[in-house]
Amino acid sequence: MPCNEEFQIDLEKAFKDIAKGTLRALEEDCKKIAKRQEKWDRFYLGLAQYYSQASKDPSTCVGCVLVGTDNRVHGLGYNGFPPGIEDTVERYNDRPTKLSLVVHAEVNSIISAGHLAKGGTLYVYPSFALPPICNECCKVAIASGVKTIVGFVADENDERALRWKDSIAIAKMMCDEAGINYRGLVE
């Protein structure tokens, strides 16, 4: 039985309308997810900032939070000497000595998380550049299976950014090769 002309559907137009509606709905969902993710990113960066206060380093206190794929905190770290190593003011004020003894916050958080680091996200505070991680910490992050690194967008003219410039350039290359995502938020 032939359809009445007034009830005939232009299938091509109907599919286009459905696709437009679906696309709009997907865009709305993506915006909601991005907004929710930014809320969590800021929360975990705030926790990393708080945890950085445990560092005794007089020049830079760094904190790091490792969050697993289940959105739970699995590791916390700050920059400091390993347990059992005397952390005197003299050692911290002698830069070569300090650099040879200190364990970075990122490594401490990965150690703290153990096997739960795999697939996780590192939140690092403060950031000197993007990615917010040095090449030495980046090696450990890659080896442990970390998938994402988050920090605040940094001031590129910060003295620390200039001091760590070469290391961070290597870390960027390593992250790109290993497929580690990194992002920065405006503080």
Eight-class DSSP state of 102 = P
From residue 129, give the alpha-carbon distance in Å to each of 64, 89, 107, 108, 172.
Answer: 15, 28, 18, 20, 10
148-152/121-125 β-pairing = parallel
From residue 93, give the alpha-carbon distance in Å to each of 58, 89, 90.
Answer: 7, 6, 5
Q: Quick one: tokens of 170?
A: 């290597």
Host H or E run for residue 110: helix 105-113
Catalytic residue check, 187:
no
Straight-line distance from the first to the last Cα atom of the chain, in angstroms, rounded to the nearest whole number: 66
Q: Which of 12, 106, 156, 177 is catalytic?
A: 106
Q: Which residues are catalytic?
A: 106
